[in-house]
């Protein structure tokens, strides 16, 4: 296509957007609402997946030591853990160190549990050679003497997946529904454009304009509607996510995990939202072209 032709199509499509006024605004707002929810939902899903994967790949097993265990017994337990073939390192963390971590994550209010009122256990942090070995090592550790409990990331990951599963399904269903509403509204505005430009379309057909030439302005009008609708969600999700990321960084960092950084998540997601906007716009336009634009 010639550059001058494309410029003409762009001008035509903007003229139609302007001429359809209220309908165009309604369609853009509907895309905005839809993509805002889709954006929030995507940020949530991407992060749940990311954290779950981190948890799954975690090679640490936390072996909690009975509170009444003596130093000698603890040393024996450490040796027993080190003797396991799947274990690479065993690190001791006292109940006071564990409490310090909690205070670091959740605030100084937890200092009231200091000294004898500290409910936490001394812990051996056992690193396995592979993430897959954590379950086996945890189960084996549980059977050893002086072990109160042994936990590993994989179990947490499974729980996390289970908890977010229904969220994911509802979110997906709701998003699809909203996308359909947006497509319907866009197809309606494009239909109005097609009907109002009937004479022009007739003349174009008569003098031999190609089908694609006739269709381009309508397709562009739909695509602009989708793209303009995507701008506000992109801005809101970007700012909102940066704020949430900043606020939650401490909590997650102390647990050894992190949310996806804004840089790694948002560039791709902004692009995705813009593409979704353009695609639903184009699909909306295509539906009306199929029904009302007989070439």
Tell me the number of residues near other proteins by CB under 8 A: 19
CA distance 138 to 150: 5
100, 104, 205, 254: which one contacts other proteins (CB under 8 A)?
Answer: 205
CA distance 62 to 138: 8
Contact partners, residue 47, CB within 8 Å, separation at least 6: 259, 260, 265
Q: Does 253 bind other proteins (CB under 8 A)?
A: no
97, 169, 210, 261: which one contacts other proteins (CB under 8 A)?
Answer: 210
Q: Does 206 bind other proteins (CB under 8 A)?
A: yes
Q: Does 3 bind other proteins (CB under 8 A)?
A: no
Q: Which is nearer to other proteins, 79 or 200 (CB)?
A: 200
Q: Does 211 bind other proteins (CB under 8 A)?
A: yes
Q: Which is nearer to other proteins, 33 or 204 (CB)?
A: 204
* End-to-end C-alpha distance for the chain, whole angstroms: 19
Binding mask 174-203 for other proteins (x = CB under 8 A): -------------------------xx-xx
CA distance 181 to 33: 11
8, 95, 101, 168: which one contacts other proteins (CB under 8 A)?
Answer: 8
What are the start-end ranges of the E strands in the chain?
A: 60-65, 87-93, 122-128, 147-152
Please report how close the Cβ of residue 213 comes to other proteins at its closest, in angstroms: 6
Please report how close the Cβ of residue 200 comes to other proteins at its closest, in angstroms: 6
Residues 285 and 190: beta-carbon distance below 8 Å: yes
CA distance 78 to 273: 51
Q: Does 207 bind other proteins (CB under 8 A)?
A: yes
CA distance 167 to 48: 11
Nearest to 17 by CA among 264, 238, 281: 281
Please report how close the Cβ of residue 190 comes to other proteins at its closest, in angstroms: 19
> Where do contacts with other proteins occur on this chain (CB under 8 A)?
2, 4-5, 8, 199-200, 202-211, 213-214, 295
């Amino acid at each position: 296509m010639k550059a001058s032709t494309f410029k003409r199509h762009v001008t035509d499509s903007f003229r139609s957007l302007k001429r359809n006024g209220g309908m165009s605004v309604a369609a853009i707002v509907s895309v905005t609402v839809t993509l805002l929810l889709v954006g929030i939902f995507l940020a949530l899903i991407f992060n749940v997946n990311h954290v779950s994967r981190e948890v799954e790949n975690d090679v640490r097993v936390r072996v909690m030591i009975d509170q009444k265990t003596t130093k000698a017994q603890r040393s024996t337990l450490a040796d027993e853990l080190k003797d396991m073939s799947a274990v690479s390192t065993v690190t001791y963390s006292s109940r006071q160190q564990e409490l310090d971590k909690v205070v670091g994550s959740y605030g100084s209010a937890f200092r009231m549990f200091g000294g004898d009122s500290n409910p936490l256990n001394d812990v051996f942090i056992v690193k396995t050679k592979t993430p897959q070995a954590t379950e086996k090592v945890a189960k084996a550790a549980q059977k050893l003497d002086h072990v109160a409990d042994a936990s590993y990331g994989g179990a947490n990951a499974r729980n996390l997946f289970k908890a977010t599963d229904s969220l994911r399904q509802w979110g997906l269903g709701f998003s699809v529904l909203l996308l359909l509403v947006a497509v319907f509204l866009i197809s309606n505005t494009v239909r109005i454009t097609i009907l109002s430009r009937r004479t022009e379309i007739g003349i174009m057909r008569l003098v031999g304009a190609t089908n694609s030439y006739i269709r381009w302005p309508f397709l562009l009008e739909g695509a602009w509607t989708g793209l303009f609708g995507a701008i506000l969600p992109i801005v809101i999700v970007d700012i909102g996510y940066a704020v949430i990321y900043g606020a939650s960084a401490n909590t997650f960092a102390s647990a050894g995990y992190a949310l996806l950084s804004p840089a790694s998540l948002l560039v791709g997601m902004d692009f995705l939202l813009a593409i979704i906007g353009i695609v639903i716009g184009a699909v909306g336009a295509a539906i009306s072209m199929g029904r009302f634009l007989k070439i």
